[in-house]
């Protein structure tokens, strides 16, 4: 079997995967920001800045913004990691650049929208719809990888 790799597709994948991973890392940094500004920590060793024992105890608490940002980050992990893994295989098997770009752009665009929908928050079903679009893109890439692997 001849194994053909379109370097333009791979280059596009590298770009979009990096952008969406940076976006995910931004959400992680935002969690840190909310933790520090809201003084809401999970671990006793993180509350050193508290002056009294009483203050340290108060800082061991949950905060709605921290938890929302954490859930957004968790969802990124559940969706962006599969996109990167399957997208890598897809970018090694897809030779049509416009089809690949369509997949990458839709996924990345809708993950940005998902983040806004979760963090602002926007009324539902905006978050649910943006999540499902991203899932469909990953499933479509997986379908392409599997059919190429089986039938070529
Ligand atoms: N782990 C997710 C799996 C399903 C999912 O990702 N659902 C989307 C659309 S409703 C979502 O935004 N879930 C909220 C979340 O992951 O915090 C969950 O528990 O909800």
What does the alpha-carbon distance between residue 130 and residue 109 come to, in Å, rounded to a whole number? 9
Tokens (6 digits) for 91: 């970018």
Q: Look at residue 151 and give its three-state secondary structure.
A: helix
For 5-60, what is each residue's pLDDT tens digit?
A: 899 999 999 999 999 999 999 999 999 999 999 999 999 999 988 889 999 999 99
What does the alpha-carbon distance between residue 113 and residue 134 come to, in Å, rounded to a whole number? 10
Atom 6 (ligand 1): residue with closest C-alpha? 75
114-128 b/e (C-beta count within 10 Å ≥ 16 → b): bbebbbeeeeeebbe
Atom 19 (ligand 1): residue with closest C-alpha? 75
CATH classification (class only), 7-151: mainly alpha
For 66-95, what is each residue's pLDDT tens digit?
A: 999 999 999 999 999 999 999 999 999 998
Q: What is the pTM of this model?
A: 0.95
Pocket test for ligand 1, best of 24, 73, 77, 131 (most atoms within 8 A of CB): 131
CB neighbourhood size of 70 (10 A): 19
**Owner of token pair 């920001």:** 33
């Amino acid at each position: 079997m001849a194994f053909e790799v379109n370097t333009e597709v791979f280059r596009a994948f590298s770009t979009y995967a990096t952008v969406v991973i940076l976006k995910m890392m931004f959400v992680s940094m935002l969690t840190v920001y909310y933790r520090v500004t809201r003084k809401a920590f999970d671990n006793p060793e993180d509350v050193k800045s508290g002056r009294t024992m009483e203050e340290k105890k108060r800082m061991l608490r949950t905060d709605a913004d921290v938890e929302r940002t954490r859930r957004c980050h968790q969802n990124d992990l559940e969706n962006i990691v599969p996109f990167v893994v399957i997208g890598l295989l897809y970018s090694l098997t897809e030779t049509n650049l416009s089809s690949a770009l369509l997949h990458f752009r839709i996924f990345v665009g809708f993950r940005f929208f998902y983040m806004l929908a979760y963090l602002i928050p926007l009324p539902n079903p905006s978050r649910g719809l943006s999540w499902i679009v991203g899932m469909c893109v990953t499933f479509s890439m997986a379908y392409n990888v599997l059919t190429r692997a089986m039938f070529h």
